[in-house]
Amino acid sequence: MTVLEPGCGMGYFSLPLARLAGPDGQVICVDVQPRMIEGLRRRARRAGLLDRIETVVCTSGDLGLSSFRGRIDLAVAIHTVHEVDDSRGFLEQIAAALRPGGTLLVLEPRGHVSREAFETTLGTAAEVGLVEKQRPAARQKLAALLVKEARSAPAI
């Protein structure tokens, strides 16, 4: 399994994702801050998981995913969408990286994101080919599982 984690920070979720992906899996960890990526790499090395993790330092407008187009099985945007300036561009890039039938988990904190803002995010996701499949119960979180439609996603 190939997993994408944009906004990975120092890897709070990245290391558990790498364990779940298994020895043949890969986690693509993307962050705009090089120091966060450096910290993640140190933590992954100590945990013996660095061989399962690929890191990408991105820019605010480009996640740097062009080489992963159509290869991602699962993407997890945990407390991330509300942090980006261009949520549509962010979701378009993730949609392009997902394989057809690939899944995106969007998880946002209720204290920072209103229900209305979350619904807007899901509407934008639908516009770029990510169809809502489920709203998992998550304490203190707004959560949705989205699946990439079979039609092609916008170019990144």
Alpha helices in 47-153 (DSSP H): 87-97, 115-127
- CATH among 1.20.120.80, 3.40.50.620, 3.40.50.300, 3.40.50.150 for 2-148: 3.40.50.150
- Taking alpha carbons only, the member of 156, 150, 86 closest to residue 124 is 86
Cα angle, residue 127 at apex, residues 26 and 138 outer, rounded to 5°:
55
- Which of 54-58, 80-84, 98-102, 138-142 has the lowest average pLDDT? 138-142
pLDDT tens, position by position, 7-38: 999 999 999 999 999 999 999 999 999 999 99
User: What pLDDT was estimated at residue 140?
Assistant: 85
What does the domain layout of the chain look like in residue ranges? 2-148
Mean pLDDT of 143-156: 76
Confidence of residue 149 (pLDDT cuts 50, 70, 90): confident
Q: What is the pLDDT of residue 155?
A: 53
Contact 121, 138 (CB under 8 A): no
pLDDT in tens, 77-116: 999 999 999 999 999 999 999 999 999 999 999 989 999 9
Q: Which two tokens stand for residue 54?
A: 């690929």
End-to-end CA distance of the chain: 22
Give the pLDDT mean for 139-143: 90
Tell me if residue 61 falls in helix, strand or coil. Answer: coil
What CA–CA distance (Å, rounded) separates 79 from 33?
16
DSSP conformational letter for 59 = -
Cβ proximity of 72 and 2 under 8 Å: yes
For the full predicted model, state whether its pTM sits above 0.85.
yes
53-68: average pLDDT: 95
